[in-house]
Chain A
Amino acid sequence: MPRSLVTLVAVSKAYGRTIAVNKVSLEVGEGEFVTLLGPSGSGKTTTLMLIAGFEQPTSGEILVRGESVVTRPPEKRDIGMVFQSYALFPHMTVFENVAFPLKTRRVAGPDVAKRVGEVLAAVRMAGLGARYPRQLSGGQQQRVALARALVYRPSLLLMDEPLGALDKKLREEMQSEIKTLQRELGITTIYVTHDQQEALALSDRIAIMNGGDVIQVGSPLALYERPATDFVAGFLGDVNFVEGVAAVVSGELVRVQVGDGPEVLTLGGPPLAPGKRVRMTIRPERLKIESTTPAGPNAWRGRVREVVFHGELVRYGVEVPSSVALRVTRPFRGPDTLFAVGQEIWLTSRPEDWRLFA
């Protein structure tokens, strides 16, 4: 990891008896894009507000380049921030909005015009400086908010669900633009979202939060592939949960009995004794449907209950013995590859695609 810019050391925030943020420790390196991901009420926005200085931690330490900033007000923290509702000044033009942080920093007039022009061009809003925010579309307002947060080259950019108000297509467009811009400018970014797809697409690292705790921190790939808890597994991407009893443990491999039906052969996670109840997960895209009897372990007889066509992929609902329902996602490879509702099929999976949680 690059040199650390922001460090949270056991930061807690309580409102009366409610603990919004619970001993959160996190390091964000220079130039890194870190996302705080979690459901609403998980403490992610409060954590961001603590970093911005709008809230004071009840305990713990917030360091920027090794220096405590806890007592420093937001206006002295050299932070750029994009709010969920953009928070553009309605009585100022686009130009005046973007020029505002330069004016507070007493940047000279000609410099202001030059820098506002540059940053508006960077967010593809050149030529719209004379418009008022109400004359812009949601996406354009978003770009202006971004330009306003970047124009004074703050050392840290905070974004609080900035794409929440946009429709899906525009959101995906803006995601790639934000990512490109962030990488070009090399600006350290802390991003808050509840949208796991967005977190996966944008982040260098993701901190998953729930109930005020940071559950796991890691790269999108690491979190997706090696979730520390079943919460992480379920929150990041789609997942099937299956419960069973560990039957045989032999070295790395664990054989789990699911009800009185199928057995699952998995790679073990935590140390287990036979007879222990376990929870397992597998991603829908790691399950495979076959029409002929397959070879190898984890081959289950099942029946297709539901077929939902999504274009580039197809989602199946499959029932296997013991009434276990599983979701299966397969890429769409032509009409003759589709399975039909009611069709008897085989379901297979590789042991290494299962995750085991005690």
Chain B
Amino acid sequence: MRARSTWGQALVLVGPALLLLVAIYLYPLARLLVLSLAGGADGALGLGAYRRFLESSVYLGVLLRTIRISLVVTAVCLVLAYPVSYVLSRAGSLTLRVIMVFVLLPLWTSILVRTYAWMVLLQANGVLNNFLRRLHVIDEPLRLMYNEAGVVIGMAQVLLPFAILPVFASLRNIDPRLHAAARVMGAGPWRRFRSVTLPLSLPGVAAAGLLVFVQALGFFIIPALLGGSRVITLAMVIETQVVDLLDWSLASSMAMVLLVVTVLLVVGFDRLLGLDKVWV
């Protein structure tokens, strides 16, 4: 009796979100799957579209580049996020609030606006290059746009908050008495960091990495604007297939492959660390 009413309550609580997800996510996804399988010449179901995708060295190259860029962006984000999170976790409440506003600021402005801003900053005659030239640090303008460097810079900036917040949460959750205990047992600052802080913050680092990587895989606007035609990512190819070439079945198969890669990663991560531990 008790169990049934609990289940009923759970259903009522989860129901609305579940309905919404089914309507706007699961149903289109199912349609996508069907589309991707309807790629035969005669419209019959089959794996034709997948074959066209995975047997083309061009498309495979794009997939690999997408994964590579996402990995680099993830690494850059984690390296930049850790020190910021560390400072945040030790800050007083006022400092914390100020830094937090700056961390979250990127999320409050349109991604398009920010990307155009990066273009102004990074182009050959842009703010950054002119500044460096005036200081005589460089003679020739640095190539910061229409290559992977530009894409990585733009994406890392957008995704940085998603790296900072989980790492900050995990650092904040470390019991300060553990540091006191390590100290009194003779551990200096470096050993305290290496043996206590770092290992205990790793689940947060892993969560941050996953969050950034999965989002980076699907990025479109930034690679399109900052990478131009030289840095094609999978999302851009999908867009071309849908908008220009009208090969929806190939586009769907690419989306499905990207989804499978993402799901495999999440499952692998869960096996390794346990997603339930990440947010505690």
Contact = CB atoms under 8 A, between A and B. Distances in A.
B177 A100 contact: no
B175 A101 contact: no
A85 B188 CA distance: 22
Nearest to B187: A104
Nearest to B200: A91
Nearest to A54: B180
B79 to A, nearest CB: 22
B178 A73 contact: no
A218 to B, nearest CB: 29
A133 to B, nearest CB: 11
A90 B177 contact: no
A52 B186 contact: no
B184 interface: yes
B1 interface: no
Interface of B is mostly: helix
A104 B199 contact: no
Nearest to B189: A75
B253 to A, nearest CB: 43
Interface residues of A, number: 25
Interface in B173-212: 175, 177-178, 180-188, 191, 195-196, 199-200
A148 B184 CA distance: 11
B175 A87 contact: yes
Contacts of A54: 180, 183
Given A89-B196, A90-B200, A81 B181 contact: yes
Contacts of B187: 75, 100, 104
Contacts of B199: 91
B191 to A, nearest CB: 6
Interface in B154-187: 175, 177-178, 180-187
A74 interface: yes
A91 B178 CA distance: 11
Interface of B: 175, 177-178, 180-188, 191, 195-196, 199-200
Interface of A: 52-54, 73-77, 79-81, 83, 85, 87-91, 100-101, 104-105, 148, 152, 158
9 contacts: A53-B184, A54-B180, A74-B180, A87-B178, A87-B181, A88-B181, A90-B200, A104-B185, A104-B187
